[in-house]
Structure 1
């Protein structure tokens, strides 16, 4: 039911506005001459926002008053009656005990007491604790673990005497899977087993019981052949211990030309990478560092250095014929790679057509859904892989 127009007019003549109360009544309040904090307090009383200056707050209160006069039900401030669907709570709120507390209660038949730094127990409490320990030991007796009955077996094989084939064969030890199991779980190496108190059918001074040991797996290596025909063989562990100092050719690009290839006439037998007292030219770096986990640290710089040394300055000259700076050369190479990737991406879209979203996609780690590639560099990399497959 709307507020009567006469009541609204009478309030306006007195410079007052009509507002609802929490008891459902109507009250008159003025906003004239109020400070900003007082206007904010009035807005809080009616659940209105308190942001803005005095003009904004006054307008907000006037609009709320007009809304109340037109539809008092929409501005009811009386608390909403709530009906509990579970009924009144009896006692304090109970929390679910931890799993460790449940396990303790299943094993120990007493309540847990608060531990204190000072022993305040009485003589009776100490005696009760000993009685409880006796009860628990009788209820839960100690069960020693079952010993491991599996015994390692040794396969006996006959080893013929190469000097006298007519002699009876002598038993020898062969490492089987059981012996390997013993080697992993025992402090005695399986390859050192000897047979004692076993007499051979026919002894011979030339026969002996020799264990046959499986040869260890070959360690993966890589061989780099230098320009002077010297071959260097390295393991992955040896490569990982190689230290390459931070190198920049920004101030001396000619030195890059001297270090690039050891068969070039510009080679000075000098390099930032030294292995076994041999200077390693930059052109061999992929052979040295690839598939060791270290190539990614050198790939970016090596790609910027890569090029034909003899044609280097012919290519990287400014419009005035001057040599380009190192920064300008790197920027030029990046632009070239970007342009090449964009061209390959367009070629891949045209070549695969409707299958592009299937061939050039990846699985999103957040949604676990297949998403089409958008970066030209990623598309170009995948396109090169598909063409080489």
Structure 2
């Protein structure tokens, strides 16, 4: 810094060197010279007459004065002296600059890019470990506080629990809640469904298995009831919320089998607001509602519809003969729906082939929706069936 200050002081005291900072100054390789060397042009070499000067605008004259040109702009005047490109510094100035460069390199040594990246990564890792340690310590402190709170509550209420519980073991059998439809805002209307004897049980669908609630027990039998539920999975009580804020509570044994589904489909309707509505008419009840409740049960209802229609199409013996394995074991619900899904795919493919063969070039006209030709096989099959029914009515 001392050398730089001395250099700056010397430059400020020498006014001649200030001209070196002017942007228009030219630095020639021939050294310092004053003025300009003007060579006569070839056109004016043998001519002794002078060229008549043009009258220039004031703005042009002002520009020439600022740029160091003559008044008419024909000849350029070198205002400042130029210096050559060779090093004009003294030996002392060069040594001072070298000492400054050496001290700077010692203070800030060169760091390779790989080393710099490794240092940044190490700092980030150390910061992450510090933050993790602080978070772990906070979590452990919170856990210890919760444990202390629970221990104090248990110590406070333990004498009361000992006096409230009976001394001897209780062997009360837990009560199984039947399948019941309970209105949330009205009186409790109970409808008990008895299981058909001799019929196999299907696996509980995933939609129904989603919600579970514990059995209603008294305070004296809650402990034994929980043990019984753990040992007997079939006694667990489930709950499903239906339309109009109604809750359906049932056990696994209350799930209707295929024959029960057959009767519920058309013969034994489910009451809604004291009005019986069969399962097959649910689309008329649920569709086109603002709350879109039909969107949530449409897929499940469609599977029920296909199974019920297949069961209606033949006798129960023929139905189970089709939906049984080679060893005579009947399919579960998932296997039955998968088998029916495959049959529908084959039927839709056959209907598509028939539709294209029957209508030929007019296929795009009859099988289009909103100006677009149908590509879905199930949609083509439904449209083909509608056209065939209309043709039969006309005939």
Tell which has more relative contact order, 1 or 2 (C-alpha 8 A, sep 6+). 2
Answer with 1 or 2: which has the greater Rg: 2
More helix by share: 2
Answer yes or no: same fold by TM over 0.5: no
**TM-score, normalised by the number of residues in structure 2:** 0.29
